[in-house]
Amino acid sequence: CDILGLKDYKRRIENRIARRYGKEGIESLSKLVDLKNKKVLDVGSGCGEFIFEAVLKGAKGYGVEPEKEGLEISKLLFKIHKKKVTLKQSFAEDLPFEDNTFDVIISNSTIEHVRDPEKALKEMVRVLKPKGVIWLKCPNFIYPLERHYKKFYIPLLPNWIQQKYFNFVSGKKSKYYYSLNEITPFFVLKFLR
């Protein structure tokens, strides 16, 4: 279902099937940290493409995803390719792991979707080992291109104006923009300090 009115949704589905985003992301992460034999947690693992690519690089893979459908797709991906991973249904704000468990945490386009971004970040820091790495990627909501709708807009206007604008330019009636947390680099840096 294309709730955002994106014209290229078929190409996007093909990219997901080919795991293009996961391959590119893990390739970038691998330039920063060697994943071999590292315990890697993917927070908001979705259909599993990022944690799958990390496992192919030698990581011990773990994923958490709140949506059952994404977990089922992940499990199928790992089963087909006969790779081992631990997947759990959970929210980012309540990670089901002990303190200081992971060497690397991946959070790709997740933090803007959680109920409480600050609590989710606290949980990631809690389960990260000392000197571990958090690879956090999300849209910057002060940049004038909204990454979900793929449309230019004026950042920092009230949400109701943004939603009306996106409904107009996409030709779709939704309340999707209301569900997003407007995360900026300043928020993340302030929290991490």
pLDDT score recorded for residue 150 = 84
In the predicted structure, residue 65 carries a pLDDT above the cut 60: yes
Q: Is the pLDDT of residue 1 over 50?
A: no
Output the CA torsion sign for 47, 135, 112, 89: positive
Greater confidence (170 vs 67) lies with: 67
Residues 100-106 have a mean pLDDT of: 98
pLDDT tier for residue 13 given thresholds of 50, 70 and 90: low
| Gap between the Cα atoms of 159 and 175, Å rounded | 10
Return d(Cα 92, Cα 107) in angstroms, integer: 9
| The pLDDT of residue 2 is above 60 | no
d(CA 153, CA 141): 10
148 pLDDT higher than 50: yes
CA–CA dist 61, 107 (Å, integer) = 14
pTM of the predicted structure, to 2 decimals = 0.86
Handedness of CA 125, 49, 183, 164 (dihedral sign): negative
Q: What is the DSSP letter of 45?
A: -
Q: How many residues does the chain have?
A: 193
Residue indicated by tokens 């820091």: 125
pLDDT at 55 over 90: yes
- State which H helix or E strand residue 160 sits in: helix 159-170
Both tokens of 154, joined, read: 């004026």
Kindly tell me if the per-residue pLDDT of 3 is higher than 70: no
**CB 174, CB 159: distance < 8 Å:** no
Mean pLDDT over residues 125-142, rounded?
94
Give residue 83's pLDDT band: very low, low, confident or very high (50, 70, 90): very high
